[in-house]
Amino acid sequence: MEKRMPSVRPEELINAVRFSSMETVKNLLAQGADVNGKDSIGNTALMYTARRHDRIELARLLLAAGARIDEKSNDGNTALILASHSNNSGMVRFLLDNGATLDSKNKSGYTALTIAESWGFTEIVRIIKDATEGRRKLAAEKARRDAEKARCDAANALAAQRQERLKRARPSTALRPK
């Protein structure tokens, strides 16, 4: 079967995200636009959305359509890095809530946090640090649960071994003298 090329070029979706309505974006996605298509500098529609304030619903639409949240541009920027650089606290929070990687670095070595710190965007610094602490706590809780499960599994395996040894140690009632 021959693979059909999308009829919508990536730039059309990107321009719709930048300059048009949500309906236009929805129509282009319905026509098969590649939600992860890149322009000449490697930016995706989500990356352009991340820079703009009050565009969370559009970002939600793009993620629902399969946009990769941690996609990188040619210079290594992610949507989170771009939202941070644009002082877009609502978008930073939205991207973090949807699983954006906190420690992605662009080609200059900057993360969303280091960019926010260098520009003095204190609200974004707080949001990122809170998310970092929240994820650290979740990871610690998961590690605790995993360790507890491993202890339970080991105890169950030991109990099963003991049961098996007991079965072998008891003579069969059929072989006992009467």
pLDDT confidence tier of residue 173, bands split at 50, 70 and 90? low
pLDDT for 3? 53
Give the C-alpha separation, 46 to 70, whole Å. 10
C-alpha span between 124 and 139 (Å, rounded): 22
Q: Does residue 153 carry a pLDDT above 70?
A: yes
* 110 has pLDDT over 60: yes
* Planar angle of CA 129, 131, 136, nearest 5 degrees: 95
Look-up of token digits 């996605």: 29
Residue 176: pLDDT over 80: no
Of 96, 5, 1, 118, nearest to 50 by C-alpha is 96
Q: How large is the average pLDDT for residues 83-109?
A: 96
How far is residue 48 from each of residues 51, 52, 165, measured CA to CA in Å? 5, 7, 66
CATH architecture classification, 10-167: Alpha Horseshoe (1.25)
Confidence of residue 134 (pLDDT cuts 50, 70, 90): confident
pLDDT at 172: 59
Computed on alpha carbons and rounded to an integer, the radius of gyration of the chain in Å comes to: 26
Mean pLDDT, rounded, for 116-140: 90
Kindly report, residue by residue over 46-58, the tens digit of the pLDDT: 999 999 988 999 9
Answer for the pair 45, 62: CB distance below 8 angstroms, yes or no.
yes
Give the pTM.
Answer: 0.75
Residue 43 has pLDDT above 90, yes or no: yes
Helices (H), the chain: 10-19, 22-30, 45-51, 56-64, 79-85, 89-97, 112-119, 122-169
* pLDDT, average across residues 5-32: 87
* Percentage of the chain lying above the pLDDT 90 cut: 63
Q: How far does the chain reach from its first CA to its final CA, in angstroms?
A: 77
Q: Where are the domains of the chain?
A: 10-167
